[in-house]
Chain A
Amino acid sequence: MRKLEQANIRLEKTKEAVFESLVRGYVKKILRLVYLIVKDRNLAEDITQEVFLKAYKNLSSFREESSMQTWVYKIAVNESKKYLRSWSFRHLFFRAEVDVEVVGDTESAVLQSDSRIRFARLVMSLPPTHRQIIVLHYYEELSIEEMADILDISAGAIHTRLHRARQKLREQLEKEGLEWI
């Protein structure tokens, strides 16, 4: 009995250590990913916290069938979706504009006048489903297969969604008269 207890304590310690390294290694990434989806810093922090608490709760069920990153991203995307679905979020807070200005003396002079800023703003103004797919592919630089795993859909569906998101961006560019930026 005593041995069993000791083994449990060791196991618990290992779990704690794994979780701590997960937190240290991925919080920044997840916070950024979530922020790009929900566009609100406080909300992004709350969701990030939820993501890791979920991960902690289910750590023992993580079977390494996917990478730790894919697993945590999957939780993050699902948690973000919950908020995007949330009635109050959609009805009240969805139009949140992101402040897309560059800080820093040297770069700001160049970048603030740069059309890249306007383009980034356009990406951030896309509807959430389109923005999510763009963020996963172009910001997180995930492969089609990884995205399929995270979003739990086929690779073909990812291609379709990416195509639609690009199409939407093109339309927006034309609407805004920015097609040649």
Chain B
Amino acid sequence: MDLEKRLREFKQTADQAILREMDDTAELEERILGKARGGQKTAERKFGHRSLYKVGAAAVAAASLLLFSGPLFGPSNPAPGGHVTTGPGPVDPVPADPPSLPAGTAPTPPAPGTSPGIGQPPGTDQLSGPSDEEIQNKVQEIKEALRIGLTQEEVKKRIQAPYNVVDDNGDLENGADEFWNISFFKQEGYVPEEPEYVVDETGLKARKVGLNLFIGWKEKKLYMYSIQYVQGEKNDIYFYMMRPNGTVGMEILNERPSPSVLDLGDSLKNAYFGFVETKKDGVLYGLKPADILKLYLHAEEEGDLLTQYAFYADGGDDSAKPSLEAFLEDVKNDPAGAENTQKRLADLRAHVIGFETKEQKPESPSGQKSKYLAEAIVYMQFSDGREALPFRLVKNQEGVWKVSWMPIQ
């Protein structure tokens, strides 16, 4: 059969088959039009605030003392070497190549420009403190502005707010050699009880401070950071962390995580830590495909990339698998991907309610023997009725189930 002819028929087949349910786009059109209009308002407000700072920074800073701490915020007895920047203002987004926003969050919702940084003037509605939306917008702005590897000068330019240099007394032991703390939406005169390198749960819970940004530096370059902020009627404390390897984590500190079928029982925990320690497949011998899936997702949640990589099957049908170095580099350079991964994992944790495993003979190109003994698809079933999500594993020559490269099919 003529390949060219087949290709010319592709359009018709695609329309009839692949794209058959894509005719009704009315809802999407309305969504886009609505978002575009909202986005325009946002941009105008941002611009308005920036102008205000330019023309009257001093007046603005004085007025802000009514509610928010001025330049000398933070503990009354700042750590030695403590330093405060000038020029309070909003967080500047990354000027070049901003990250793709995760699915469904596209334009920033209205009002990020109204979220006050330190020294910003309180508006009428700010007398009762910042709204959840304002805090959330500030979180988003910070995430967009910060990247692993930025210099201190670059960060100061992007986050124009006063910072405190924090002395951790060597307690943190996380590889960073310098720490900064930046508070947003902080009440005037508020001094946290805890040292600045400890999450200020009391202050956040009481909304005496809305958001703390804690940055770890290594050799004057951004090494890791966390954002702690308050949200909701119950004043939940959210803890978001960008790890040095580029993965992100998120948890609500005052809430025990809901039980999930992805939780590891004691025996799986033992297997997990054994594998973390040794990376030897033998530790996983006898585990079922669904067990390996749980362990793999756990490594991903933990941001343990070396362990995650070790769960992948070697070569063979998975020849697209990159080297470990390329894998690590990929993650480090893709904050948007890390963000998406964290969201998807949280979704799986919240909604997967069971597994169904189907084993089959390994797929192989015709006439060739697969290097795997078997192949399994674990279907993750969801509480909200969506279609089961297949996850592929293969059994290697040692009889151990390993994760197929790009496992979700």
Chain A residues near B (Cβ < 8 Å)? 19-20, 23-24, 27-28, 31-32, 35-36, 41-43, 45-46, 48-50, 52-53, 56-57, 79, 82-83, 85-104, 107, 111, 115-117, 119-120, 123-124, 134, 138-139, 141, 166, 169-170, 173, 175-177, 179-181
Q: Is B233 close to A, CB under 8 A?
A: no
B18 with A124: CB separation less than 8 A: yes
Which residues from A are CB-within-8-Å of B12? 116
Across the A-B interface, the 6 shortest Cβ-Cβ residue pairs? A87-B337, A87-B334, A88-B341, A86-B337, A88-B337, A46-B103
B340 with A52: CB separation less than 8 A: no
Q: Is B50 close to A, CB under 8 A?
A: no
A49 with B106: CB separation less than 8 A: yes
Tell which of B27-35, B114-122, B185-193, B205-213 binds the partner.
Answer: B27-35
User: How far apart are the CA atoms of A88 and B8 in the complex, in Å?
Assistant: 33
Q: Is B330 close to A, CB under 8 A?
A: yes
A181 to chain B, nearest CB (A): 6
B334 with A86: CB separation less than 8 A: yes
A95 with B366: CB separation less than 8 A: no
Classify the secondary structure of B's interface with A: helix
Residue of B nearest to A52 (CB): B32
User: How far apart are the CA atoms of A170 and B6 in the complex, in Å?
Assistant: 11
Known: A28-B25, A31-B22, A139-B14. 9 other contacts (CB 8 A): A19-B36, A28-B23, A35-B19, A35-B22, A46-B104, A92-B341, A116-B6, A123-B10, A176-B366
User: How far apart are the CA atoms of A85 and B342 in the complex, in Å?
Assistant: 17
Q: Which of A53, A120, A124 sits near B35, CB closer than 8 Å?
A: A53
User: How far apart are the CA atoms of A56 and B35 in the complex, in Å?
Assistant: 10
Classify the secondary structure of A's interface with B: helix
User: How far apart are the CA atoms of A134 and B7 in the complex, in Å?
Assistant: 8
A157 to chain B, nearest CB (A): 19
B100 to chain A, nearest CB (A): 5
Q: Which of B7, B25, B39 sits near A27, CB closer than 8 Å?
A: B25
A129 to chain B, nearest CB (A): 13
Using a CB-CB cutoff of 8 Å, which residues 356-409 of chain B contact chain A?
A: 365-366, 392, 406-409
Which residues from B are CB-within-8-Å of A31? 22, 25, 28
A102 with B340: CB separation less than 8 A: no
A19 to chain B, nearest CB (A): 6
Size category of the B interface is 35 or more
A117 with B13: CB separation less than 8 A: yes
Which residues from A are CB-within-8-Å of B9? 116, 119
A146 to chain B, nearest CB (A): 16
B28 with A138: CB separation less than 8 A: no
A36 with B18: CB separation less than 8 A: yes
25 A/B residue pairs, CB under 8 Å, sorted by A: A27-B25, A28-B23, A35-B19, A36-B19, A48-B32, A49-B31, A50-B101, A53-B35, A53-B36, A87-B333, A87-B334, A88-B341, A89-B340, A92-B407, A93-B408, A95-B409, A102-B20, A111-B16, A116-B6, A116-B12, A119-B6, A134-B7, A141-B11, A166-B7, A180-B1
Q: Which of B106, B330, B333, B407 sits near A50, CB closer than 8 Å?
A: B106
B340 to chain A, nearest CB (A): 5
A37 to chain B, nearest CB (A): 12
User: How far apart are the CA atoms of A94 and B404 in the complex, in Å?
Assistant: 12
B406 with A87: CB separation less than 8 A: no
Q: Say yes or no: A138-B7 contact (C-beta < 8 A), given A32-B22, A46-B103, A103-B20.
A: yes
Which residues from A are CB-within-8-Å of B340? 86, 88-89
A119 with B13: CB separation less than 8 A: yes
Chain B residues near A (Cβ < 8 Å)? 1, 3, 6-14, 16-23, 25, 28-29, 31-33, 35-36, 39-40, 100-101, 103-104, 106-107, 330-331, 333-334, 336-338, 340-341, 344, 365-366, 392, 406-409
Most buried by A among B8, B13, B19: B13
Which residues from B are CB-within-8-Å of A52? 32, 36
A174 to chain B, nearest CB (A): 9
B406 with A93: CB separation less than 8 A: yes
User: How far apart are the CA atoms of A87 and B309 in the complex, in Å?
Assistant: 13
B7 with A120: CB separation less than 8 A: no
Residue of A nearest to B390 (CB): A97
B148 to chain A, nearest CB (A): 13
User: How far apart are the CA atoms of A90 and B23 in the complex, in Å?
Assistant: 28
Which residues from B are CB-within-8-Å of A176? 365-366
Q: Which of B17, B19, B29 sits near A23, CB closer than 8 Å?
A: B29
Which residues from A are CB-within-8-Å of B409? 95-97
Q: Say yes or no: A27-B10 contact (C-beta < 8 A), given A53-B36, A95-B409.
A: no
Most buried by A among B18, B29, B333, B406: B18
User: How far apart are the CA atoms of A6 and B23 in the complex, in Å?
Assistant: 39
User: How far apart are the CA atoms of A149 and B66 in the complex, in Å?
Assistant: 56
A11 to chain B, nearest CB (A): 13
Which residues from B are CB-within-8-Å of A93? 406, 408
Which residues from A are CB-within-8-Å of B18? 35-36, 98-100, 120, 124
